[in-house]
Amino acid sequence: MSLSVAIAQLASDSDAEANARRSAAAVRDAARGGARLVILPEYASGWAPTITADLAQETDGPFLAALRTAAAEAKVWVVAGMVTPSPSGPGRCENVAVLLGPDGEVAGEYRKVHLFDAFGVRESDVLDGGRPGGDNVLTVDLGGLRVGVATCYDLRFPETFRLLADAGADVLVVIAAWADGPGKAEQLEVLTRARALENTCYLLLASQPGEGRVGRSALIEPLGTVIDQGGTGDEVILAATLTQDVIAEARAKVPSLSHRQFHVRPGPPTG
C-alpha cells in the first residue's frame, strides 16, 4: 500500500486571480509528476502581512473554482488553505483547509482551531476559530493510508495530532504560512519532526515562502527523518511515495501509540 504525494511550496499575495492561476498550475505540474495527493499551503487563496477580511473568498470564488477544475482534469486529491467569510457576521472570516477529490468536488473541510495570537500577531482580530474535535476533524483514506489535516499554529498543540492519530491517521498534513522571525524556522523544524516522531506518522508540511514567511516545506518520515525540504524563498514541488511498510516498521520499533497512558479529549481545559 502506497501513496504518491507532492507538496507545492508557493507564495501567495492579495491578487486572488493570480493566486488561483499559480495554485492550479502547481496542481497540474505535480500531477504530471505522478502525485495522487497535492498539498498547497495555508492562505494559498490570499495572503498579506496583516490578514484582513478583504482576503476572504466564497467557496464558489475564483480560487476554489480554478482548483476544482485542475483537480478534476488531473484526477488528483488536493488540500489547500483559504480564507472564507464566517457565518458569525460581516468582517469575520474563517481559516479553512479544503480537501478536493479527483472529481473536483469538495470532499471535506477543516477550520483552523488554534488561531495565531502570538509574536505580536492577532489572527483572532479577523478570524473565528474552528470547534475542536467533533465534525471538525478531517481525515481521508488514500492508497491504504489514512491522511489527517491540520493548520500552521496547530503544530504547537500536540493534542491536535493525537486526535488525528486516534482517528487512525498514518499521514499528517500540515498547511502553513509560518511567520518569519528570530528562531522561527528552527522552531518549525523541531515541531514538525516531533509531531511525526511522537505519532509515528509521516508528516507533510506545505509552507509559504517569501517575505515575512519562512518556507521550509518538508517531507518527514515516521521516525522524524527529513526526506526532503524546501528553502526559505524558493517555489518548489517536493515529491515522494509513502508506504505502509515504513509506518509499520517505525511502529514496531517504537510502539509509543500503544504504550500511551493518557488520552486526549476535545474541548478547553477545565478547573
Q: How far apart are CA 145 and CA 167, in angstroms?
A: 12
SS percent in the chain: helix, strand, coil, step 5:
30, 30, 45
Catalytic-labelled residue, pool 42, 94, 109, 123: 42
Catalytic-labelled residue, pool 112, 123, 201, 221: 112
Catalytic-labelled residue, pool 123, 152, 201, 221: 152
Residue labelled with grid coordinates 492579495: 14
The b-or-e profile of 34-59 (16+ CB within 10 A means b, else e) is: ebbbbbbbbbbbbbeeebeeebbbee
Is 58 an annotated catalytic residue? Answer: no
Terminal Cα distance for the chain, rounded: 45
- Is the CB of residue 57 less than 8 Å from the CB of residue 64? yes
Is 75 an annotated catalytic residue? Answer: no
Residue labelled with grid coordinates 477544475: 69
Is 42 an annotated catalytic residue? Answer: yes
Catalytic residues: 42, 112, 152
